[in-house]
């Protein structure tokens, strides 16, 4: 890829420059075709051309931010909001009234509503469920019998999220339905973002029909969850009760649509991300059995041989490092966007009001400028004496600022527990027919990972 123009423009306007235009665009689709064909490699190379570069997606100009420091500045600045192609497609599909897509006072109110359920001191209450689900997962597997990781990872992710936060007695069939729906919806949404061809997506083509069916099923699933709770007449101490009893800015009960959209936001954000990370963890444990052995050794040293428990999590330092390193190399959330609400700047570049900005945690977290042996799976790089050398904002898989993931502590506890529970019992190998190539949607996950657990 070449940079076609580096036009230092409008020096009079506070000496700000216009970001260079990335090369390789084609008529009509601009850089969209690269973002469809090989988006990870495309994003990973953009830093070679500038700290901020312009991309063309169809008729739109989008600004890509490529350095850790500037992604931090972007996420922390009040000049940018959640909007732009990703969020427009998300809003149209997942709903406008959930915490993941709202802005301003509504977003602040919704964060205040959901935040208590995710605070560090709220997590131990979920410990028994996380523990039970992590061990149930390992107990379902038997030595030598191939495991379909997509199904298993979704199952445990949905069950933990639903049982902890929605106190739902989720049957497996629902986890399967959600998994199928989200796969189709998240891949389709990604396409709609990078190739925004509006009306074409409404044509009755098989791919559009499949997408619409999946989306409808996901919303139906959420309606079922809310209706079940209302019909039960129960008000357990959980996030769903808080959502059902929340008040809007005028102190009135929030509308049905907002409740629906909030449940969609929690369930989709909580299950797709953690499920994808579990799949990648299994792939990495199969590729690096020595780290599986170290996880087992650490867990046994901490527990003395009893099943690993939630209380052990904070002492499982290596297991935690395995999870963090998996999230560095294989981030579930690999692309994020914002929109400028005012004329502003980033790193000395002019960003006009209304501009869409994109950045890739995948590119940032694999950047050779930030990491030695950047493509190597090396959990020890997160030992305190080495982690201090990682540049600020070069590892922020949960983002920072007012949109930082509320589920960060929740996810880390769950992922560490699951990793320890499965690695204590098994070593893993990829099975025949497994396809661990990366499937790119709104999140990243392996296409079809099959592993064979081998009992220790």
Residues that bind ligand HEM (CB under 6 A): 82, 99-100, 111, 161, 165, 265-266, 269-270, 273-274, 277, 332-333, 336, 397-399, 403, 405-407, 410-411
Closest separation in Å from C-beta 265 to ligand HEM: 5
Q: What is the DSSP string of 174-220?
A: HHHHHHHHHHHHHHHHHHHHHS--GGGGGS--HHHHHHHHHHHHHHH
Closest separation in Å from C-beta 57 to ligand HEM: 18
Strand-strand pairing, 356-359 and 60-65: parallel
Please give the torsion angle defined by the CA atoms of residues 100, 105, 106 and 111, in that order, rounded to the nearest 10 degrees.
50
C-beta neighbour count of 390 within 10 angstroms: 16
CB-wise, 263 or 309, nearer to ligand HEM?
Answer: 263
Q: Helix (H, G, I), strand (E, B), or coil: what is residue 233?
A: coil
Rounded CA-CA distance 257/46 in Å is 40
CB-wise, 16 or 102, nearer to ligand HEM?
Answer: 102
Closest separation in Å from C-beta 432 to ligand HEM: 29
Closest separation in Å from C-beta 3 to ligand HEM: 27
CB-wise, 6 or 69, nearer to ligand HEM?
Answer: 69
Inter-CA distances, 147 with 125, 137, 286, 293, 431, Å: 30, 11, 12, 20, 8
CB-wise, 262 or 424, nearer to ligand HEM?
Answer: 262
CA dihedral sign of residues 11, 13, 14, 19:
negative
Closest separation in Å from C-beta 75 to ligand HEM: 6
Closest separation in Å from C-beta 336 to ligand HEM: 5
Q: What is the DSSP string of 357-418?
A: EEE-HHHHHT-TTT-TTTTS--GGGGSHHHHTTSPTTSS-TT--GGG--TTHHHHHHHHHHH
CB-wise, 36 or 122, nearer to ligand HEM?
Answer: 122
CB-wise, 274 or 344, nearer to ligand HEM?
Answer: 274
Inter-CA distances, 252 with 91, 133, 282, 339, 443, Å: 23, 37, 46, 30, 36
CB-wise, 143 or 257, nearer to ligand HEM?
Answer: 257
Closest separation in Å from C-beta 331 to ligand HEM: 6
Burial class of 231 by CB neighbour count within 10 A (0 to 12, 13 to 18, 19+): exposed
Q: Count each helix (H run) and each strand (E run) in the chain, helices first.
A: 16, 14
CB-wise, 99 or 195, nearer to ligand HEM?
Answer: 99
Residues near 434 by Cβ (< 8 Å), separated by ≥ 6? 448, 449, 450, 451
Closest separation in Å from C-beta 264 to ligand HEM: 10
């Amino acid at each position: 890829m070449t940079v076609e123009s580096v036009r230092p423009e409008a020096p009079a306007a506070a000496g700000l420059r216009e970001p260079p235009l990335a090369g390789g665009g084609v008529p009509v689709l601009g850089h969209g075709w690269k973002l469809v064909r090989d988006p990870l490699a495309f994003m990973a190379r953009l830093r070679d051309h500038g700290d901020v570069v312009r991309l063309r997606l169809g008729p739109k100009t989008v600004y890509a931010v490529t350095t850790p420091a500037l992604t931090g500045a972007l996420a922390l600045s009040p000049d940018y909001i959640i909007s732009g192609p990703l969020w427009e497609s998300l809003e149209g599909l997942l709903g406008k009234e959930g915490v993941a897509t709202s802005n301003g006072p509504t977003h602040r109110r919704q964060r205040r509503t959901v935040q208590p359920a995710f605070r560090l001191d709220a997590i131990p209450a979920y410990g028994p469920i996380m523990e039970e689900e992590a061990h149930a997962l390992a107990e379902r597997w038997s030595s030598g019998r191939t495991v379909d990781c997509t199904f298993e990872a979704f199952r445990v992710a949905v069950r933990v999220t639903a049982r902890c936060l929605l106190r739902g007695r989720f049957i497996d069939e629902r986890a399967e339905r959600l998994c199928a729906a989200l796969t189709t919806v998240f891949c389709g949404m990604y396409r709609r973002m990078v190739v925004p061809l509006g009306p074409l997506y409404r044509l009755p083509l098989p791919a559009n029909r499949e997408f619409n069916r999946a989306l409808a099923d996901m919303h139906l699933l959420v309606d079922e969850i809310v209706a079940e709770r209302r019909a039960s007449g129960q008000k357990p101490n959980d996030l769903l009760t808080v959502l059902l009893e929340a008040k809007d800015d005028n102190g009135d009960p929030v509308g049905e649509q907002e409740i629906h959209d909030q449940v969609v936001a929690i369930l989709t954000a909580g299950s797709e991300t953690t499920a994808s990370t579990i799949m990648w963890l299994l792939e990495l444990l199969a590729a690096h059995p020595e780290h599986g052995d170290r996880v087992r050794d650490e867990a046994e040293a901490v527990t003395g041989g009893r099943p690993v428990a939630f209380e052990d999590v904070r002492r499982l330092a290596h297991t935690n490092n395995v999870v963090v390193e998996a999230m560095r190399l294989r981030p579930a959330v690999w692309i994020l966007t914002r929109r400028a609400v005012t004329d502003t700047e980033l790193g000395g570049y002019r960003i006009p009001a209304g501009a869409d900005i994109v950045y890739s945690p995948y590119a940032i977290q694999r950047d050779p400028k930030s990491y030695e042996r950047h493509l190597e799976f090396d959990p020890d790089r997160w030992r305190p004496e080495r982690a201090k050398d990682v540049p600020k904002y070069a590892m922020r898989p949960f983002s920072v600022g007012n949109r930082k993931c509320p589920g960060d502590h929740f996810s880390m506890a769950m992922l560490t527990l699951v990793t320890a529970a499965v690695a204590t019992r098994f070593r893993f190998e990829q099975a025949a027919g497994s396809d661990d190539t990366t499937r790119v949607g709104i999140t990243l996950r392996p296409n079809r990972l099959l592993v064979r657990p081998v009992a220790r």
